[in-house]
Structure 1
């Protein structure tokens, strides 16, 4: 069977990293986090924020290499624009992989704000966006089907199980 590219997108502080990390642990799939890649690039020298598409381009190239070995990949990023979503899809299909696009949302604004204001991003040097920056961020509506997973009031395991069900895997 061909490998699978799962692209988890959504606004900051919706639970993407938490869900992606648990999903990777349970499936054994490779896990790529664009925030980690971007911070590593920033630590190397003269490039400074904003990086533009650099982190996404690097992540997609690494994903294509991994998928080419037959290993499935979970890519986690905000993925806010149609152009970024199309690029991820093209990466997976170009590598001969199946693609599942997942939008992680937090439908409870108070919970989403609490997460934004209290979370540790878990990446050295990464300064998470403020609540005001999150709510003002450009985030285009999706123009195609995707799996939507709402993390508001939901245990991480349930979110991961919803994704596992969509890929035909076991319930965790």
Structure 2
């Protein structure tokens, strides 16, 4: 088992399209640094299981994740936010949260530069989040069209060209 390294209070935001590898990297970072992850998909799925309409939960899931991150940062704990973050509104909230708590903000954008690999990942994907259906290739293409380019400084990792161990090493180097 890898040695757990300490990190000054930091908000690590993982962003990218579904199946880009962000959740796998978030889990690896969580294990390596012993950090909490707030992830949109399990939060949203829990809302659906509780009976909330799917039309009501998209923004609400981000609000819950941001509230959880806010609480961890208030306690001076680092936290990982795992979310697509496709547009400026949620990105601004993460920036504001880091500024509010005077913590470092580290953004990691995961991409899969190999379209055939991305499609294969989508079609084979089974995350076992109760109540959360897997995204279709057609829906991923829609999401890609809606995804706005980031303007913030960030680490961009192409998960199709690097091993998981190398991705983790690059991410750890960046967040430290």
Q: Same fold (TM over 0.5)?
A: yes
Unaligned runs of 5+ in 2: 1-6
Q: Could you state the TM-score of these two structures normalised by the residue count of structure 1?
A: 0.92
1:17-166 aligned within 5 A: 17-45=23-51, 47-50=52-55, 51-137=57-143, 138-166=146-174
Once residues 41 and 136 of structure 1 are traced to their aligned partners in structure 2, the CA distance between those partners, rounded to angstroms, is 23
Deviation at 1:52, TM superposition (A): 3.0
Q: Could you state the TM-score of these two structures normalised by the residue count of structure 2?
A: 0.90
Q: Is the 8 A contact 1:2 1:96 kept in 2?
A: no
Once residues 128 and 154 of structure 1 are traced to their aligned partners in structure 2, the CA distance between those partners, rounded to angstroms, is 24
Deviation at 1:88, TM superposition (A): 1.2
Unaligned runs of 5+ in 1: none
Q: SS of the counterpart of 2:46?
A: helix
Q: Which ranges of 4 or more aligned residues in structure 1 deviate by more than 3 Å?
A: none
Higher helix residue share: 2
Once residues 116 and 32 of structure 1 are traced to their aligned partners in structure 2, the CA distance between those partners, rounded to angstroms, is 22
Deviation at 1:2, TM superposition (A): 4.5
Once residues 2 and 19 of structure 1 are traced to their aligned partners in structure 2, the CA distance between those partners, rounded to angstroms, is 20
Q: SS of the counterpart of 1:103?
A: strand
Once residues 89 and 160 of structure 1 are traced to their aligned partners in structure 2, the CA distance between those partners, rounded to angstroms, is 23
Once residues 23 and 122 of structure 1 are traced to their aligned partners in structure 2, the CA distance between those partners, rounded to angstroms, is 20
Q: SS of the counterpart of 2:106?
A: strand
| Structural RMSD (CA) | 1.3
Once residues 59 and 95 of structure 1 are traced to their aligned partners in structure 2, the CA distance between those partners, rounded to angstroms, is 16
